[in-house]
Chains A and B, each alone.
Chain A
């Protein structure tokens, strides 16, 4: 017990082994996409990487060992995520592995766990989550999409929106309204929906900068068997709260931001190499320094909260603070990366997407697109404004 921002030798040895293994295992074409700050990897690439991790025994990171987890300590899991970021490896599948899997472990029946978990850890199935609706965003409990009780399960007719990755998901983890009496947090039920069910229509919602991540889903008399109920009917709000808070180690985006910081450093060094210590380079360096200092403060706070503080001394506001500060800083870093490339960042395309022989200044073209793509991070999974409200309530005891 003493303030100490360092891991012991055993963890550092583990880190070295993880870093080496990742460097050997990561296919270059996947690495280069992540290094281009892309988060729209194809399903085939995501599946290939997850199954590779699974073959290394790392398919179930974050899960308890009896559910397919690697049996790591918190520090080892933390270090693994750091090194994934440094290696430019894709993050573990967010919806399936990091949200749905632990939720099934907590609320699912043994039958549901054996049915779904092995396919998640092996990268055979991909999940999406359907929570938001046109009139239920930050105010999630205002959701209305109904699941009507039938003889053998439920029938859904309605719609959900802002569903990331629905276009290549096999299964959906959704929240539906099974009762409209009582508080609005009551009467919500968590169901697993097969995306191949008759009556489901997925409509893409492309982003303004040209990528596609989100979708709208329409349900027309979609039938869901009773076996797909997660937890109890009507306690979906508790299930969802658990699902959204289960990830402790990756809310601040520090691993990806460390990698982005490295890209900015390399770019500034290249500019300096080419044209000397110009006023432009000096200005970029000053911005770089300030953001690296901000990232130091964030990373130290993340280490302190998730590894360095006993559970009973936490207020509960920590994930909110990390998510808010972490996503704002990530946006600032990508803005600097874009500026470090200048006008050519507007080309918008990574090198491999350019036509062969086409004369386009596309180096750094990813930077502009990433800047725009990550604009959403302070909105999804609880907007900055919602996080501040949560902090006001839990850490400071302030409320309306």
Chain B
């Protein structure tokens, strides 16, 4: 049992922390994400989970999550998880794409959730595949290069995963902004013809890769949420030490102190739970217990991240709701995370559905 970092992980984390402390203004609401993207590509972070024999860092999901947490602490919204964590897995057998990822030239977006009533459909065509359906909300930034989508065959039983270059002709795409500043797009697939090599996996292989990507995405965003919670705890702690009311620092009031302590405790609990889940995924792979651990982590940070964000704003007072401060933006990102990947509450419902079947696994999670 160990919660310390390896030497490499410590270096990675410290260099990330130093970078953000030096080159970004943590008190500013919006950080120049274009510059950060270029910088982190240069520093090699995007290769964190690319295998060593393909010139990557050879890191695990835990390493990926450590960086996600630092991005959260710096409240910088860049599609790092999609490229460095999900992309490295999706394109494991595509050295060219891995190179693009490492160099920061590939910005990926993922659409893994199904609309059960009206899923995306694919069918074989003479030159490849035809896609039919619509995706009204795809989380992606304006310069996304590739969208990875999951679709089902006509029977609705066989899944497949496709990569779609954004500049694909006839890809009916509309970009729009989102509350967390990340951005999104809607796409209508009106009998879209795509080539055969756009299909990354089909059938059981597609099922496996989608599940692995879903677990990794939940963990990555959970780790980002932990970082965001830590940022909000620190910023709020400092604010209560400087803001004067009734002739004293507001941290002099017990009701305020205890609220900060509650935020701190939740960020600590979330951090333990998320890295426990990441370690479980890393060691056990896709097992029933891993799924429960990830559902637990994602639903917990979804619920408690919102609570920390709300309290951060409450303790700041009206200023906490202003555009000029990063507090509201960090909260908006926490809320967006809690609604991603199918939503934190759906993960809690799924956890409840499975908890009797999975039974007592406490020797894994409580030792």
**Do A and B bind?**
yes
Selecting from B50-58, B135-143, B164-172, B260-268, the interface stretch reads B260-268
Selecting from A30-38, A61-69, A228-236, A281-289, the interface stretch reads A281-289
Q: How far is the CB of B190 from chain A (nearest CB, A)?
A: 41
Please indicate the chain B residues that have their CB under 8 angstroms from the CB of A290 in the complex: 348, 352
| Binary contact readout A267-278 vs B (1 if CB under 8 angstroms, 0 otherwise) | 011001000000
Given contacts A1-B2, A1-B5, contact A295 B272 (CB under 8 A): no
Please indicate the chain A residues that have their CB under 8 angstroms from the CB of B268 in the complex: 301, 321
A293 touches B4 (CB 8 A): no
| Binary contact readout B1-43 vs A (1 if CB under 8 angstroms, 0 otherwise) | 1111111010000000000000000000000000000000000
- Is B340 engaged at the interface, CB distance under 8 Å to the other chain? no
Selecting from B84-92, B200-208, B274-282, B329-337, the interface stretch reads B274-282
Q: How far is the CB of B60 from chain A (nearest CB, A)?
A: 9
Bound Cα distance A313, B6 (Å): 15
- Is B151 engaged at the interface, CB distance under 8 Å to the other chain? no
Q: Which of A3, A6, A15, A400 contacts B275 (CB 8 A)?
A: A3
Among A262, A313, A392, the one with the most B-chain Cβ atoms within 10 Å of its Cβ is A392
Please indicate the chain B residues that have their CB under 8 angstroms from the CB of A272 in the complex: 356
A79 touches B258 (CB 8 A): no
Q: Which of A196-215 contact B (CB under 8 A)?
A: none
A388 touches B269 (CB 8 A): no
Given contacts A1-B4, A299-B366, A308-B4, contact A388 B360 (CB under 8 A): no
B237 touches A396 (CB 8 A): yes
Please indicate the chain B residues that have their CB under 8 angstroms from the CB of A268 in the complex: 356
Q: Which of B317-362 contact A (CB under 8 A)?
A: 348-349, 351-353, 355-356, 359-360, 362
Selecting from B112-120, B176-184, B293-301, the interface stretch reads B293-301
A6 touches B5 (CB 8 A): no
Q: How many residues of B contact A (CB 8 A)?
A: 52
- Is A358 engaged at the interface, CB distance under 8 Å to the other chain? no
Q: How far is the CB of A294 from chain B (nearest CB, A)?
A: 8
Please indicate the chain B residues that have their CB under 8 angstroms from the CB of A15 in the complex: 363
Selecting from B97-105, B122-130, B213-221, B249-257, the interface stretch reads B249-257
Q: How far is the CB of B285 from chain A (nearest CB, A)?
A: 14
Bound Cα distance A397, B260 (Å): 11
Given contacts A1-B7, A285-B355, A297-B300, contact A262 B252 (CB under 8 A): no
Q: Which of B4, B269, B276, B359 contacts A2 (CB 8 A)?
A: B4
B5 touches A396 (CB 8 A): no
- Is A258 engaged at the interface, CB distance under 8 Å to the other chain? yes
A392 touches B257 (CB 8 A): yes
Chain A residue with Cβ nearest B269: A297
- Is B47 engaged at the interface, CB distance under 8 Å to the other chain? no
B240 touches A398 (CB 8 A): yes
A398 touches B251 (CB 8 A): yes
A2 touches B237 (CB 8 A): no
- Is B283 engaged at the interface, CB distance under 8 Å to the other chain? yes
Q: Which of B1, B351, B356 contacts A5 (CB 8 A)?
A: B1
| Binary contact readout A221-264 vs B (1 if CB under 8 angstroms, 0 otherwise) | 00000000000000000000000000000000010001001100
Please indicate the chain A residues that have their CB under 8 angstroms from the CB of B362 in the complex: 258, 261, 299
Q: Which of A2, A296, A309, A325 contacts B6 (CB 8 A)?
A: A2
A3 touches B4 (CB 8 A): yes
- Is B78 engaged at the interface, CB distance under 8 Å to the other chain? no
Bound Cα distance A155, B283 (Å): 62
Bound Cα distance A298, B299 (Å): 15
- Is B197 engaged at the interface, CB distance under 8 Å to the other chain? no
Q: How far is the CB of A246 from chain B (nearest CB, A)?
A: 21
Bound Cα distance A321, B300 (Å): 18
- Is B71 engaged at the interface, CB distance under 8 Å to the other chain? no
Q: Tell me how many residue pairs across A and B have CB atoms closer than 8 Å.
A: 167
* SS class, residues of chain B in contact with chain A: helix
A296 touches B296 (CB 8 A): yes
B1 touches A75 (CB 8 A): yes
- Is B62 engaged at the interface, CB distance under 8 Å to the other chain? yes
Please indicate the chain B residues that have their CB under 8 angstroms from the CB of A296 in the complex: 273, 276, 293, 296, 300, 365-366
Chain A residue with Cβ nearest B351: A289
- Is A391 engaged at the interface, CB distance under 8 Å to the other chain? yes
Among B62, B351, B353, the one with the most A-chain Cβ atoms within 10 Å of its Cβ is B351
- Is A173 engaged at the interface, CB distance under 8 Å to the other chain? no
Q: Which of B6, B7, B360 contacts A262 (CB 8 A)?
A: B360
Q: How far is the CB of A359 from chain B (nearest CB, A)?
A: 32
Q: Which of A346-385 contact B (CB under 8 A)?
A: 385
B264 touches A300 (CB 8 A): no
Please indicate the chain A residues that have their CB under 8 angstroms from the CB of B4 in the complex: 1-3, 308-310, 313
Known contacts A4-B2, A396-B260; 13 additional CB pairs below 8 A are: A3-B5, A6-B279, A75-B1, A82-B366, A289-B351, A296-B293, A297-B300, A303-B3, A307-B3, A396-B257, A398-B237, A398-B240, A398-B241
Question: Which 8 A-B residue pairings sit nearest by Cβ, starting from the closest?
Answer: A308-B3, A289-B352, A299-B366, A300-B272, A300-B276, A301-B272, A304-B3, A297-B269
B-side residues, CB < 8 A to A, are 1-7, 9, 62, 237, 240-241, 251-252, 254, 257-258, 260-262, 264-265, 268-270, 272-273, 275-276, 278-280, 283, 293, 296, 299-300, 348-349, 351-353, 355-356, 359-360, 362-367
A-side residues, CB < 8 A to B, are 1-7, 15, 75, 78-79, 82, 254, 258, 261-262, 265, 268-269, 272, 285-286, 288-290, 292-301, 303-304, 307-310, 313, 321, 324-325, 385, 388-389, 391-392, 395-400
